[in-house]
Amino acid sequence: MLTSMATDVAQTVRNARAMAGLTVRQTAILAGVSPSTVSRAEKRLLDPSVSVFERILAACGFRCASVFAPNVDLDALRAARRLLEPELGIPATEGSERYARRWDAAGLLSAASEPERASELCFRAARQSCLSARPGAVGYGYREWRQVARSLEDSGQAWALTGGYAAALYTPVASVDWAVFYVADVATAAAAASLDEVATGSRVTLIPFDEVTAAGVQELEGGLRLMSFWQVVIDCFAGTGRMPDQAEAMLRQRASAAA
């Protein structure tokens, strides 16, 4: 018998899969369930258990909440960076290896060209690593990003720019007015840059480094520090406004340069 709960689950699964751009088979592989489970759930023929429902949503980059909320699993980010930059020697984890296997099994790594494969990797990692929802990320009120960068440099701690302003060094595509930095210690960096924490509408966000994001930081002339090219692309896909457009423009430019 069809219940209202099954109807809600069916619509939620369909919406999540559509937003993630995945087929039923790909969703099933990424979630570790059978394709029939996903298909029957979408057709209201199955009311899946909570754990299965959560796994399907997580495969699409979401988690259970009153509305769709971003799922954050940094093993996906680790998996993508390992595949894109094997020369950095980023350590594997059980979770990152699982992502790599499931992406491959779902056909997401079998693109016709290397640029297409790289784009798919960045996009999939971004689906699981919403920029503003990263662990330890804190939002602050507006301050011009160059001033923040100078303050962080003067403070003597590790830092690097990412997101739209970092992408602007690669592409003329305009972005939102949102400065995002990785830092060694969020509280220390905020104090050094005289940043005031805000609950909403942040214009500067500080994210703590981990062993993945700290790998491949670029130091440019003039003291500017940028995240790895691939980390900037992933972070732009994981951002807002025109940041995904910037990510795509960066990938096109790289592909053209390599041609």
> Beta-strand (E) ranges in the chain?
62-63, 69-70, 138-140, 159-162, 179-183, 204-208, 218-219, 225-226
Rounded to whole angstroms, how far apart are CA atoms 207 and 214? 11
Q: 181: which DSSP letter? A: E
- pLDDT tens for the 259 residues of the chain, in order: 334 445 588 888 999 999 999 999 999 999 999 999 999 988 888 888 888 999 999 999 998 766 667 889 999 999 999 999 999 999 999 999 999 999 999 998 887 788 899 999 999 999 999 999 999 999 999 999 999 999 999 999 899 999 999 999 999 987 778 999 999 999 999 999 999 998 777 799 999 999 999 999 999 988 899 999 999 999 999 999 899 999 999 999 999 888 7
Q: Enumerate the domain spans of the chain.
A: 4-69, 72-259
Pick the CATH number of 4-69 from 1.10.10.10, 3.50.50.60, 3.40.50.1860, 1.10.260.40: 1.10.260.40
Q: What is the CA radius of gyration of the chain?
A: 19
Amino acid at 190: A
Fold classification of 72-259 is Beta Polymerase; domain 2 (3.30.460)
